[in-house]
Amino acid sequence: MLSLLSMLIFVIPICLNLINLKYLYDIKNEYNCEEINSPYINVFFDYYLIELCLLILSLIILSYIFHNYIKIRGNFKGAKSRLFLIKLGKTMGDFFKNNTKIFELFTLLISGILIKLYYDIGNEKQCKDVDKYLRLYLFYGQIIAFGLITYNIIFK
């Protein structure tokens, strides 16, 4: 049951990455979009592709750990192994806890650049009709995400 719940956590980000990848792939392959088809789009296409691969890899590793928990637990019965895992977990937890604002600022930057990208695509005559409603969905979703991240940075 725990492995199923852990896999469901990854479903939403994977689906959202696939939607972004599909739209950016359509823009990259549209022959009318030569002006907007720049390294700008290629960077975000590669970013979402790498992020998707990391999410799928994390999903596979996590499901393997939960599925083979008894075998893996047997390998870490020694006190040194447990102590190493506790120190590693504490170090990683402290790293992410102490640098939360940096990660949020990076996410805010990416979200802002994506808003600009979708806005530029919408203003270009040849490209604005490529998956118009998908572009609007992604544009408004990024605006909402930008607002929520900004709120989280300022008030928390």
d(CA 12, CA 16): 6
State residue 132's pLDDT score: 84
Residue 71: its pLDDT value, please? 67
Domain range summary for the chain, segments of one domain joined by +: 2-155
> What's the CA dihedral at 62, 85, 105, 9 to 10 degrees?
20
The pLDDT value given to residue 140: 93
Query: What CA–CA distances, in Å, run from 95 to 45, 61, 68, 119, 156?
Result: 28, 21, 28, 35, 18
Q: Is the pTM of this model over 0.75?
A: no
Supply the DSSP symbol for 29: H
Q: Tens digits of per-residue pLDDT, 23-76?
A: 888 888 877 776 665 677 778 888 888 888 888 888 888 777 777 766 666 666
Question: Could you read off the pLDDT of 74-113 as tens digits, one per residue?
Answer: 666 665 666 766 777 788 778 778 888 888 888 899 889 8
Q: What is the pLDDT of residue 3?
A: 59
| Distant-in-sequence, close-in-space partners of 89: CB < 8 Å, separation ≥ 6 | none
Chain centroid to Cα 70, Å, comes to: 31
User: Token pair 């005559």 is at which residue?
Assistant: 125
151 SS3 class? helix
CA 82/CA 89 separation, integer angstroms: 10
Rg (CA), the chain: 20
